[in-house]
Amino acid sequence: DAGLDGSLDRNGESLPFYYYAQTDPDWASYPFPNANSTTEQDDTMQNRSCGVMSVSMVIAQYLHEEIDPTYLADYVVENGWRVEAHGVMDEFMIEAASLYGLPAPQIYYQTPSDGQQAIDWDYIRQVLTEENGLVIVHESRGNFTSAQHYMVLEDYVERDGVGYFLVADPYQLRSRYWQWGTSSMADAGLGDEGLIL
């Protein structure tokens, strides 16, 4: 509403939530290249760092301290976690948690293959409301993006009998913010992969 861009609350003081945005001018133009792609070699953190920003939010929230997401961006590039289109591999979230001494997250899938765990939205709501946890979701397409995008589910609330997930979107673009009920979240593309941290 105030027309603010970038990270509104990197130190967790006002929301209270440690929020990081790809559009933050402190690192929006920071290099985040994909050397294996002919179209993403000049990418910046604003272009493809939604996964890095999402995991930065979760790590900062769990540690109760501000972190520097450019460290994780460099780590992704230097260690081969950078992939085309959605920036990082899902499994990078496990590596990032380990780097900061946090328990390894579990990865859940909308359409699991052999050995993969299926998403349980009731469990997701329990993590958010009863365990004060956070969930990183990997949206393939839907109300937030036409391609792929990582975001953080911060909470779940019900208003007038309708449930809503509170989403911390690392890419601030007001035109994509819609109200969706819980029954339509998976259909809208939310939840190809959900990462419980």
Q: What is the pLDDT of residues 86-103, one digit of tens each?
A: 689 888 999 999 999 999
Q: What digits encode the pLDDT tens for the residues 54-80?
A: 999 999 999 988 899 999 999 999 999
Q: How far is CA 49 from the centre of its chain?
A: 9
Q: Above pLDDT 90, what percent of the chain?
A: 39
Q: What is the DSSP string of 68-100?
A: -HHHHHHHHHHTT-EETTTEE-TTHHHHHHHHT
Residue 20 near residue 60, CB atoms below 8 Å: yes
Q: Which residue has the higher pLDDT, 53 or 167?
A: 53
Q: Name the pLDDT band for 173 (thresholds 50, 70, 90).
A: low
| Other CB atoms within 10 A of residue 157 CB | 11
Q: Residue 2: what pLDDT?
A: 45
Q: What angle do CA 152, 157, 162 make, to 5 degrees?
A: 115
pLDDT of residue 181: 43
